[in-house]
């Protein structure tokens, strides 16, 4: 082993929020909750949720007009949910493909959406610099590996699709085996793709830094203030009601718990592990020297990054969907999934066979029925929303926040004309159909990966299933 065994920081005494993820465990400063909403109050804008969506929305609104009275209500602490637990990819990824966006709104709209996502990565980097938020920003891009003939076929198809929409090698390029291995020295690499439009970050540092920035600008952020209902003109909480002309739902994976939204978004769990800090000779064998984020073209998503302190933070799907869109803290940790993640990590990098995993965590992300994120504002009710990122929300939330700031202030812009604005996803099926469908899809993707390893050929079942996802 690389070091002597030590107590798992997830089990440390003290602040209970630090046990939620490696990121929250290593964020500087106290995680003790701020003051709750003291009672009924008036505001111009009330926001439910102090994750990235809510905080970015507050940030751009208060920058637009410092006189605005903005109230953010959060059930736990800022950054408690996916914003403080994700893989730390500030990417230009969107859950719906270019082809799907084109079918929804036309070719030009799909291209505009992708270009907006590219500039959003730049915008996040600018805010991080302007606000002095030390979130370990590393613009190393993303390397997606192809480790089987079927995966290589998907890599080529993705690059071909981007070429069809006018995007060149400066946005996404195909890598041969040697080029891919030079970036990420994993096993069985046949090729891959590279995009420069991604930065590896420490997401909890970004979330907490944003919360500090909006507070300093005059936004009221109330923690330990559960939102019980979102209604026209008011945000109802357990400790009072915020009356406001605009009410914004920024609750992502927790949306299903609100009255009237039970079938709007399905909470699916994604889990992660992190290694101990690895010595330089190990990194010499792994690569990731410029800290690109990485994954591969399997169907059951995996994702990873080299952290600023020399760990591998690695995650993936595989945890089950729970009947009734249930969310419980016990679902954050599934030993079988953690075991599979460790096994996968060692398959990718055998040098990690004796590495100690110091952190294990997870949490729910928001999945709409058509796998297409959306943002919008109903002018008749004053209720706005953003979400359904399917795990691609670190930067997309910034685009959502800027768009909501335009919509709330009545500003017509390039952002308000993007195809996800005003999009309404269909509702999920009632239970138990939702439970059966989601978990069946999970098994199909797992079996498709197994089949492709054995045969080397693309899975027809996975191709069929992609019609119901973001394809």
Report pLDDT digits (tens) over 236-252. 999 999 999 999 999 99
The CA distance from 237 to 37, in Å, is 8
pLDDT, position 452: 85
- Domain 142-195+267-367+434-468: CATH architecture, name and number where available: 2-Layer Sandwich (3.30)
pLDDT number for residue 13? 38
Token reading at 374: 């959306």
The three-state secondary structure class of 323 is helix
CATH 3.30.9.10 location in the chain: 142-195+267-367+434-468
Burial of 278 (0-12, 13-18, 19+ CB in 10 A): buried
Check pLDDT > 60 for residue 2.
no
Q: Give the pLDDT confidence score for residue 15 in this predicted structure.
A: 84
Cβ(352)–Cβ(69) under 8 Å?
no
- Distance CA(425)–CA(372), nearest Å, equals 7
How many other CB atoms sit within 10 Å of the CB of residue 450? 14
> In the prediction, which pLDDT does 467 show?
61
The whole-model pTM stands at 0.94
At 158, the pLDDT band (50, 70, 90 cuts) reads very high
Provide the 10 A C-beta neighbour count for residue 122.
14
Each residue's pLDDT tens digit, 54-73: 999 999 999 999 999 999 99
CATH of domain 21-138+200-264+369-428: 3.50.50.60
| pLDDT (0 to 100) of residue 227 | 98
pLDDT above 70 covers a percentage of the chain that reads: 95
pLDDT band at 328 (very low <50, low <70, confident <90, very high): very high
CB burial string 290-304: b at 16+ within 10 A, e below: ebbbbbbbbbbbbbb
Q: What is the mean pLDDT of the chain?
A: 94
pLDDT at site 451: 84
Percent of the chain with pLDDT over 90: 90
Is the pLDDT at 186 greater than 60? The verdict is yes
- Nearest alpha-carbon partner for 313 in 364, 270, 360: 360
pLDDT at 10 over 80: no
Q: List all residues 6 or more positions away from 280 whose beta carbon is below 8 Å from its beta carbon.
A: none
| Better-predicted residue by pLDDT, 449 or 41 | 41
The pLDDT tens digits for 214-238 are 999 999 999 999 999 999 999 999 9
Query: At 468, is the pLDDT very low, low, confident or very high (cuts 50, 70, 90)?
Result: low
Domain with CATH 3.50.50.60 in the chain: 21-138+200-264+369-428
> SS3 for 94?
coil
The C-alpha atoms of residue 129 and residue 209 are separated, in whole angstroms, by 11
The stretch 35-47 carries a mean pLDDT of 98
Q: Which of 46-50, 416-420, 452-456, 460-464 has the lowest mean pLDDT?
A: 460-464
Segment 192-217 shows an average pLDDT of 98
Say whether the peptide bond before residue 80 is cis (omega within 30 degrees of 0).
Answer: no
pLDDT in tens, 83-111: 999 999 999 999 999 999 999 999 999 99
* 24 pLDDT more than 60: yes
DSSP 180-216: HHHHB--TT--EEEEES-EEE--HHHHHHHHHHHHHH
Which pLDDT score is estimated for 12? 40
Residue 466 has a pLDDT of 65
């Amino acid at each position: 082993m690389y070091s002597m065994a030590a107590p798992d920081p997830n089990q440390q005494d003290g602040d209970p929020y630090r046990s939620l993820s490696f990121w929250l465990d290593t964020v500087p400063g106290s995680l003790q909750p701020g003051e709750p909403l003291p009672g009924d109050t008036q505001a111009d804008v009330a926001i439910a949720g102090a994750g990235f969506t809510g905080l970015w929305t507050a940030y751009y609104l208060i920058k637009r007009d410092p006189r605005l009275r903005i109230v953010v209500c959060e059930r736990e602490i800022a950054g408690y949910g996916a914003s403080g637990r994700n893989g730390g990819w500030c990417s230009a990824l969107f859950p719906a493909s270019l082809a799907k966006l084109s079918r929804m709104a036309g070719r030009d709209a799909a291209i505009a959406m992708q270009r907006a996502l590219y500039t959003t990565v730049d915008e996040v980097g600018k805010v991080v610099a302007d606000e002095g938020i030390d979130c370990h920003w590393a613009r190393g891009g993303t390397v997606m590996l192809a480790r089987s003939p079927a995966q290589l076929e998907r890599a080529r198809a993705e690059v071909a699709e981007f070429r069809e929409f006018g995007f060149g090698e400066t946005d996404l390029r195909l890598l041969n085996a040697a080029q891919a291995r030079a970036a990420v020295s994993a096993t069985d690499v046949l090729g891959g793709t590279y995009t420069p439009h991604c930065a590896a970050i420490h997401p909890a540092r970004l979330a907490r830094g944003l919360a500090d920035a909006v507070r300093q600008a005059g936004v009221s952020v109330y923690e330990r203030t559960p939102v019980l209902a979102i209604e026209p003109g008011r945000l109802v909480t357990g400790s009072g009601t915020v009356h406001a002309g605009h009410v914004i739902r920024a609750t992502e994976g927790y949306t299903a718990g609100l009255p009237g939204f039970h079938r709007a978004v399905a909470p699916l769990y994604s889990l992660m592990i992190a290694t101990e800090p690895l010595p330089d000779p190990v990194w010499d064998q792994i690569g990731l020297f410029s800290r690109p984020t990485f994954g591969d073209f399997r169907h059951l998503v995996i994702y990873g990054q080299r952290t600023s302190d020399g760990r591998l933070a690695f995650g993936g799907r595989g945890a089950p969907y729970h009947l009734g869109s249930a969310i419980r803290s016990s679902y954050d940790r599934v030993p079988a999934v953690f075991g599979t993640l460790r096994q996968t990590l060692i398959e990718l990098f055998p040098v990690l066979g004796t590495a100690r995993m110091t952190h294990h965590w997870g949490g729910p992300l928001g999945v709409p029925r058509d796998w297409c994120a959306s943002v919008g504002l109903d002018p008749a009710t004053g209720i706005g929303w953003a979400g359904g990122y399917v795990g691609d929300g670190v930067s997309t939330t910034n685009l959502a926040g800027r768009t909501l700031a335009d919509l709330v202030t009545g500003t017509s812009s390039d952002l308000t004309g993007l195809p996800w604005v005003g999009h309404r996803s269909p509702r999920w099926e009632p239970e138990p159909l939702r439970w059966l469908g989601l978990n069946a899809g999970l098994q199909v993707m797992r079996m498709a990966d197994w089949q492709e390893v054995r045969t080397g050929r693309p899975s027809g079942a996975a191709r069929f299933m992609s019609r119901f996802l973001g394809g």
